[in-house]
Amino acid sequence: MVDEPFEVIWKHFGDGVQVELRQRTAPHGDPKAPSIEVEEWGITFAGDSRVHWARLTLPGSADRTTPEWAEESAHGPHWLGFLADASDLLAGTLDPDMVPAIIAQIVVPRLSGWCAVYTAGTLAGPMRLAYLWHADEARIDGLREQLGQVSVADTQVTTTVQLADWQVLAVPLTARGRGLGMMCLGRTDRFPDDVVRFAADIARRAALAMDNARLYAEQAAANRALQRSLLPPNEPEVPGLDYGVVYEPAGEVNEVGGDFYDLFAAEDSWRFAIGDVCGTGPEAAAVTGLARHTLRLLAREGYGVAAVLGRLNQAILEEGERARFLTLIHGDITPVETGLEVRLVSAGHPEALRLKPNGVVETVTTPQSLLGVFPEVVFEADTLHLDHGDVLLAVTDGVTERRNGGRLLDDEGGLARMLAECVGLSARAVAERIRRGAEDFAPEPSADDLAILVLRAR
């Protein structure tokens, strides 16, 4: 028990009593059974209090449960609170591997002495034991050996079987017409009718939570694969260039970010790009994929950076209602003896900055129209030279528009001041310093995607 105020309540139910220990601060660790033999015990929650309760049969009472006790057990507030707590716990996770553990620890010891949760595989055959829990932890290994000799079949019917000294209630876990597994409960005595009903109710809620977690995990995996396909497959070696990148999609894992970057070999130079598609999700991913493939294809056919953006702008407009606005910096790099020659176009994107070894930071791009808005726009490339040690920084608005109250990170040249502190760092170190500065600028997590591209002439 933790060193906090608590309240003890005694309730009388005919032939028995119920003792409740109410405490606002929940004890750490798993709940332990009472040190003396009791009829029943469990954990419920009432508001912000945790209630650890136990029922004892009074001396001289009959072995059967009294009518008052049975009525309270089946319809009283403890069962309603128990079901509400079970629903909250099951709804609180989207991890498929956690759901079986939650199921087992919900029903033990409230409904049974132990619980085994089996999950269905992708092929026909015995199901896999996903989680096993016993009120007496010392008996889990022995019980696991017993269950290992039993084949559990996928069935849609609740059944009761005998396993050694245990009566086992097997309840199917079915959601949206699909069998997901079985919940097996074990008791040394007969399962009362109300316990069977509550087990079926919990199984329905648990199966729905399990299916939701499965669908969420599948969607998250698909979106991660899609996100990977929108980023460069490898990191090329560019003579005279040291570069670093950071990419962090924001929000839930089921969202595909709209930011992207690229660095690849063209016909007689190397090309780079950093862009931000309006929005997230599959629609933004479609435009991101269109942009990356168009940039690579046209660059390898010999089109200059300005011509590439003009044709990409037209391709986005031809998408019609599916089109999304896109901001983009696209450039090419040519190594020379004195450093790097760079030509680049900034289409509605946050300004690119150059850091000199003496700490001077300057803007090196001319703002031009973003893509996917005007059909007749003509782009012009800016030309600059990066001496040895010069750094070129390009970021998405997940950095420049990082908000802390009413302030943005780039207000009054905030990004330039941050870059000026990076003199002498490698490209990767500069990218990480900018990422960390954006993260530390506000206490809450960022609500926008973030991409950082740093090019440094060796």
Q: What is the residue extent of each domain of the chain?
A: 6-222, 233-457
Structure confidence by residue, pLDDT tens digits, 296-314: 999 989 999 999 999 999 9
β partners of residue 22: 7, 51
Q: Is pLDDT larger for residue 429 or for residue 163?
A: 429
Q: What is the mean pLDDT of residues 392-404?
A: 95
Q: May I ask the CATH architecture of the domain 233-457?
A: 4-Layer Sandwich (3.60)
Question: Residue 424 — pLDDT band, cuts 50, 70, 90?
Answer: very high
pLDDT at 73: 47
**Measured distance CA(121)–CA(254) in Å, rounded:** 24
Q: What is the mean pLDDT of residues 149-160?
A: 78
Long-range contacts of 422-425 (CB under 8 A, 24+ apart): 422/355, 422/391, 423/355, 423/357, 423/358, 423/359, 424/357
What is the separation of C-alpha 331 from the centre of its chain, rounded to a whole number of angstroms?
Answer: 34
CATH class for the domain made up of 6-222? alpha beta
pLDDT at 67: 41
Question: Residue 276 — pLDDT band, cuts 50, 70, 90?
Answer: very high
Q: On the CB side of 443, how many CA atoms lie within 13 Å of its CA?
A: 1
**Measured distance CA(58)–CA(56) in Å, rounded:** 6
pLDDT at 30: 55
CB 281 within 8 A of CB 297: no
In this predicted structure, the answer to whether residue 348 has a pLDDT above a threshold of 50 is: yes
Least confident segment among 93-102, 359-368, 431-440: 93-102
Least confident segment among 10-19, 188-197, 260-269, 403-412: 10-19
Long-range contacts of 28-35 (CB under 8 A, 24+ apart): 28/2, 30/105, 33/109, 33/135, 33/136
In this predicted structure, the answer to whether residue 400 has a pLDDT above a threshold of 80 is: yes
Q: Is pLDDT larger for residue 151 or for residue 420?
A: 420
Question: Residue 68 — pLDDT band, cuts 50, 70, 90?
Answer: very low
In this predicted structure, the answer to whether residue 69 has a pLDDT above a threshold of 50 is: no
Length, in residues, of the chain: 458
pLDDT at 361: 97
As given in the structure block, the two tokens for residue 302 are 């010999």
Structure confidence by residue, pLDDT tens digits, 217-272: 877 776 666 666 666 777 788 899 999 999 887 755 545 667 889 999 987 789 99
Among 338, 335, 445, 331, smallest CA distance to 393 is for 331
